[in-house]
Structure 1
Amino acid sequence: EGVLTLPDHSFHGISKEHNWSFKTKDSAPASTDTLIVDANGQGDFNTVQGALDFIPDFSQKQTVILIQAGDYEELVYARNKTNVKIKGAGMDRTRVHYANNEVFNPHPLTVKTNEWPGTFPSRRAAFMLDNCNDILLEDLTIATDLHGQAEGLLLNGERIALYSVHIIGSGDALQANGTIYMESCELDGGGDTILGRGSLFAYRSNFRNDGGPFSWVRNTTGNHGDVFVECTFAAPDGKKADYGRTKSNHGTAYPDAEFVVINCKVKNIIPQGWSAIGEKSSRMYEFNTCDMETGKPVDVSQRHAYSRQLDAQKDAALIADYMNPAFVLKGWQPFSYLKN
């Protein structure tokens, strides 16, 4: 008793004295191109998980999942899904969330790292898309309800685009592995706010954490890392954050790590910019960073020795390349509302 709360208070627990029954719909959705998710039971499915499970693995045709306004308390995990558009009713109207973290759902002790294609990812995120390609998320909030190592969103796949998505996590709030595009998004998290081996291109999105690194970049040879164009980075007053690190506390460094900041605005970022860059070969580039409150260029005289300030004239071609998503995302040019 108390596990389920129904409007008519009809659930009193399951026992010999109190039976409880439920039923599924009489037939499958009439349309397989568009699926409606409605927490109030007026759609094809009550849960996002149900709609994703209904879609065949590796589908060649696009399926649109429309999530109606509402609160969806559910753990979402989808594997091997392709060509899916998941659209909510707005960041402030559709919320998908669950209480999950590394302590609650730890990955097996025999798995040292699980970010590589074909492996299974961490189980600690509220919303996970694993080995999924050509996915679009739009107009919703995705959140974890716990602190610790707890991603709101974990992505493993190629050509995954996020538009107007608010991600709320704790440490490692977003894990990005593959080729990921973000536009007009919001991200709130803790230390290592962004984690992963992926190539992430963020455009006009806002990143906030409670002090600490915004990223732990771990891209490998031949792959770009995290690139931010016209974004903001902010920590609350009284705390200081940094762009990120390429070196762990136990000494592991990533020589090809890349973190590029172009035409961004910042608040309460440490003078060094980056906290720990393990190798000189890392590409930590910055261009035209301004203060969020004054709009004036920030003082970059104390930036980390392994980082580099790009020059408007000498590095014009390089700056143009990094402002092009296709350059960062293996030739993929995602749709942009602001450019079309």
Structure 2
Amino acid sequence: MKQLAFIIGLLAMGIAHSFGQPKAKLPVVVDAAGKGQFKTIQAAINSLPDSATADRVILIKNGTYNEKLFITKNHIVLKGESEKGVVITQDIARDIWRCQGNADDWGVATMNLRGSDITLQNLSVINGYGFHHKADTIVSCQVGSEPATQKAVKNTGHQMALRSFQTTRLKVLNCTFRALGGDTVSPWNAASGLFYFKDCTMEGGVDFYCPRGWAYAEGCTFICHSKEAAIWHDGSGNPDQKTVLVNCTFKGDEGFKLGRYHRESQFYLINCSFAATMANAPVFQAASSTGVKWGERVYYYNCHRTGGDFAWFANNLNKAKTAPVASQINAQWALDQQWNPMLN
């Protein structure tokens, strides 16, 4: 019996490789207070091999991490101890970043992604620029070989908490993303982006949730600090690309508009709730848009506004391609069966 108990104990600890089972890989622990393997999240990411076929888990203890993160590796899981307890924050204005001579957006966000198969869970990711800069900032702006000029950077300009590039199969659970300016959450991959958000809070200015590709958000809260538009979509990579929002809540400043688009897009809003402060303004094509060939594609089902509904978000799923019913609209449907985030 003692020998059997010993063997069971080895199996429980994940070290019974001599019995034909590989040793379990323990998560990497980050603790800003120094009680983990690393004090910074970026150091933990850098410690992992460049390639992998299975997820590598980084556990992040509660604390404030003043870091700008870069993730170029695949199969990374950043799992916080608690959503409000783990705060990753930087102050970055996209206009200043570009004026400093940076050719693209790599580094413009608090969290910058190029890897795929990434999971974020129980985190707060903040771009605090607009919250901390109350007045315009005057900067010397150098763009290419042109002579430098002075530029006034407003605290409501582009401020990204998350910006992705080639990333696909991004899963985000119980996370908060905050900025005062636009484009707070920018998962961008117009060719093959697959993005899943569940039970998240997103806050920002114009177009502060702006996926490119296929996106599904469920149970999320959107807080808008702009009278222009809260959500945006780019579905120009494929006629079936769409942004789907289910059981989501929208609130914000008096007169905020729900959404807009510049390029080909497709919106589905199912069982969503709108605050009384939302303007009587349908999702619209922006004046600066160069046109769309697939037409306006904005669909609603069972959405309601505090203080009374507007006619423009009446049920119209029957006008969408294949005329789907609300009960069949889930993550796999939204992502065109290309990925089931429930299996990861």
- TM-score normalised according to structure 2 size: 0.74
Q: How many residues align?
A: 281
**Distance in 2 (alpha carbons) for counterparts of 1:107 and 1:137:** 30
> 1:108/1:98 Cα in 2 relative to 1: closer, same or farther (>3 Å)?
closer
Q: In structure 2, the residue corresponding to 1:335 is in which secondary structure?
A: helix
Q: Could you tell me which residue of structure 2 aligns to residue 323 of structure 1?
A: 329
- 2:278 aligns to what? 269
Distance of 2:319 and 2:211 partners within structure 1: 32
Q: Is 1:92 matched with 2:108?
A: no
Runs of at least 4 residues off by over 2 Å: 30-33, 107-111, 275-280, 311-317, 319-322
Contact 1:203 1:228 in 2 (8 A): yes
The percentage of counterpart residues that share the same residue type is 23
Question: Retained in 1: the 8 A contact 2:183–2:209?
Answer: yes
Secondary structure, in 3 states, of the residue corresponding to 2:325?
A: helix
CA displacement at 1:51 relative to structure 2: 0.9
> Greater share of helix residues, 1 or 2?
2
Q: Which residue of 1 aligns with 2:43?
A: 50
Confirm or deny: 8 A CA contact 1:271 1:300 kept in the other structure: no
Which of residues 145, 152, 155 in structure 1 aligns to 2:164? 155
Aligned-residue CA RMSD (Å): 2.8
**Matching residue's letter, 1:59:** A
Which one of the candidate residues 331, 338, 342 is aligned to 1:335?
342
CA displacement, residues 5-45 of structure 1 (integer Å, 9 cap, x when unaligned):
xxxxxxxxxxxxxxxxxxxxxxxxx9964100000111111
Residue aligning to 1:133: 116
1:190 is matched with 205
- SS of residue in 2 equivalent to 1:163: strand
- Tell me if 1:299 matches 2:310: yes
Residue number in structure 1 paired with 2:127: 144
CA apart distance, 1:92: 1.4
Question: Quick one: structure 1 residues 32 and 50, their matched pair in 2 at CA, closer, same or farther if it must change by over 3 Å?
Answer: farther
Specify which of 186, 193, 202 is matched with residue 175 of structure 1.
186
Q: Name the TM-score, length of structure 1 as normaliser.
A: 0.75
Change (3 A) 1:329 1:272: same
Render the CA deviation track for 1:172-212: whole Å, top value 9, x for unaligned.
11101211101010001111112242321000110011122
Contact 1:102 1:123 in 2 (8 A): no
Instruction: From the superposition, tell whether residues 274 and 50 of structure 1 become closer, same or farther in structure 2 (CA, over 3 Å).
Output: same
| Alignment gaps of 5+ in structure 1 | 1-29, 115-120, 248-253
Gaps of 5+ in 2: 1-22, 131-156
Q: How does 1:228-247 map to 2 (within 5 A)?
A: 228-236=245-253, 239-247=254-262
Q: 1:77 corresponds to which residue?
A: 70
Select between 215-224 and 274-283 the one with higher mean Cα deviation: 274-283
1:133, 1:314 → 2: CA distance?
30
Partners of 1:315 and 1:78 in 2: how far apart? 36
Distance 2:265 2:325 in 1: 18
- State whether residues 318 and 324 of structure 2, in contact with CA within 8 Å, keep that contact through their aligned partners in structure 1: no
Q: Does 1:164 align with 2:174?
A: yes
